[in-house]
Structure 1
Amino acid sequence: MTKEPLIRRIPNASNKTNIREPSSSDAFIEQKATGLFEQAKLREQQLKQQSVSTAQYIWQAIFLSIPFGLLLAAFDVTVKVQFDEPWDYYGLGLRAIKAAPALCPVIYLTNRHKAKKWTQVLMTLGSITVGAFLLYTLQHSPSLGQMLRAPGLATIWVYFIVQLDLIPAVFSLAIVAAYWHFGLHRK
């Protein structure tokens, strides 16, 4: 007992198959699609290589200066609370608004060139200097000096660490930690 092939059991199926040989129009469509894929890949590479416009870096600087301005204001409030000075939310907001224009140029320049080696080196050196100076200020300055310097130094230090690549950031933090442990902590 031979069974009939499954294709013949399907209603309205005939012995002819619906598969047709590729025609010249199919080859044209395939060639056109291949060309479109190549164009899409080329355009994708161009977009990756295309530099970001100055306006986009300005907007990035503006939008990054908002959280860092608020961070500066929060550090300011922290110092005021530490020394039992009065503060209010109006002063916090005013300090953040005043800090944003001062932070914008630094953020613009470092953000625009942060992928370059020389910028990473400068930010690493800046991070080491600012971090060490912050720790020195906290250890050796009177309370008024701490209140005036610490919030700005801490904000710039955090910004440099955020913008640095991982290896330079860890390196600069290790140098500052060594300075604190072997230089300031032992005295």
Structure 2
Amino acid sequence: MLDRPTDNPRPVAVCRPDPRVALGSEDALRPPDQRHRRLRQDLGGRRGPGDLLAAAGVPNAVIDLDWLRRAWPSPPHDRFNTGLTLRNLRAVAGNYLEAGSERLVLAGVVESRQERAGYLAALGVDDLTVCRLRVDLGEVRRRLTRRHELDEQGLRWHLDRSGELEAILEQARTEDFTLDATGLMAPEAAEQALRLTGWLPPAQ
């Protein structure tokens, strides 16, 4: 677990095997202004990572990065308001850490090594762990078709984006590990991700 020295009011992540921040990415299930809606449902809702860590007695906070970027319009050179997201994250994460959180779970997407470095700098910690939640692309598209059956334009955007993001993440390889969540229910995905991260003990 995190070493919180009593003579230092700011917690410090002491080594990579015991990181303080995990960022999970669900590939392909993001609308244009809410790229992380599905991940929030999968990992930030009922029996999500925050609930599981709380049940284990671990002070924590869950941050949906989508809420930190929700402003319109975005700059022409910054399609998903990444700059604004990082500025907001710096403030929000700092508040949670000052309030005593020992674990931060970020629901979002990391599309490049440069973006990963930006999150690390904004958090002000020594390291973070990126978990990629992968769902079979065919299943992703089936879910999108059901979800947007009355929104032809939105469905077309999502279907195009799902393939685009799959290719981006395959090439970028920003994750530390990948969890195949195709056949998992939301609580199962959350629990397995935390165990792989080392924040929960292995299942007996």
TM-score norm. by structure 1 comes to: 0.30
Q: Which has the higher contact order (CA 8 A, sep 6+)?
A: 2
Answer 1 or 2: which has greater helix percent.
1
Answer 1 or 2: which has greater strand percent.
2
TM-score norm. by structure 2 comes to: 0.28
